[in-house]
């Protein structure tokens, strides 16, 4: 574990950001963007220790390991981050997994794993940070859903259910926390250039891209900028919303 690096904005301490699943993919790009903008950033990871260590060394961002699907681990993990850096002011619920199969072939374990990690983590992590946010009268909670949580996807009943649940969870959380200066919002990415997409066969990838009106995949930086926008102090009047970044693939 690497100790936090604190940066200053003028005479004001930069806000403390915690990003789950933040050592790879969209999470890692988002963590770098926040740090570049002067925020004090920490990331969470689970099991992918070598990747997390490499990211942490390269980015100068502390990485902490715990399972976001475990409520007690989340409480303890947040306590450690807050001991090292201070109270978390911005939480990005980014951690997620996939276990794709059609429903008649899907083991119960795969259903539970995705629901616990992709949806349960939003509850576990938000529950851990909301008390200190209420004390400070400031907080930003941004949870990552997916275009497939909005539109559904063949072979992803678990993932689509979890990502749809993130949206409902966030709307309720927004109502509960609005009077405390806390906003809760969702970013719902479309198909994005990540290592996961690199594993998709070329012919299948072409079919996906052909369906996107703008004619390409999203860049991770485009998702990260949407997250940064919702985290800004000046985004205080936006709460309970879902910001889709999908190139027109699905419009609500």
Catalytic sites, residue numbers: 159
Dihedral sign computed on CA atoms, order 117, 118, 123, 124: positive
∠ at Cα 77 (6, 118), nearest 5°? 110
Closest CA to 190 of 147, 251, 126: 147
Closest CA to 65 of 44, 86, 48: 44
Rounded distance, CA 37 to CA 28, Å?
14
């Amino acid at each position: 574990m690497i100790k936090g690096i604190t940066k200053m904005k003028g005479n004001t301490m930069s806000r403390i950001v915690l990003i789950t699943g933040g050592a790879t993919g969209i999470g890692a790009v988002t963590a770098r963007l926040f740090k570049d903008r002067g925020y004090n950033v920490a990331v969470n990871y689970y099991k992918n220790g070598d990747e997390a260590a490499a990211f942490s060394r390269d980015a100068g961002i502390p990485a902490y390991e715990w399972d976001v699907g475990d409520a007690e681990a989340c409480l303890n993990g947040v306590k450690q981050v807050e001991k090292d850096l201070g109270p978390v002011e911005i939480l990005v619920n980014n951690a997620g997994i996939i276990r794709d199969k059609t429903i008649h072939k899907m083991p119960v374990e795969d259903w539970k794993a995705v629901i616990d990690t992709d949806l349960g983590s939003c509850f576990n992590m938000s529950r851990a940070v909301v008390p200190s946010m209420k004390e400070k009268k400031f907080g930003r909670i941004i949870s990552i859903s997916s275009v497939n949580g909005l539109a559904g996807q063949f072979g992803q009943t678990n993932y689509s259910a979890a990502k749809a649940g993130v949206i409902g969870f966030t709307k309720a959380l927004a109502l509960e926390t609005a009077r405390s200066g806390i906003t809760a919002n969702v970013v719902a990415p479309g198909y994005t250039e990540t290592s996961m997409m690199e594993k998709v066969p070329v012919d299948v990838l072409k079919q996906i891209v052909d369906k996107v009106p703008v004619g390409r995949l999203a860049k991770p930086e485009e998702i990260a900028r949407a997250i940064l926008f919702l985290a800004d102090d000046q985004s205080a009047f936006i709460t309970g919303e879902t910001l889709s970044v999908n190139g027109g693939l699905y419009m609500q």
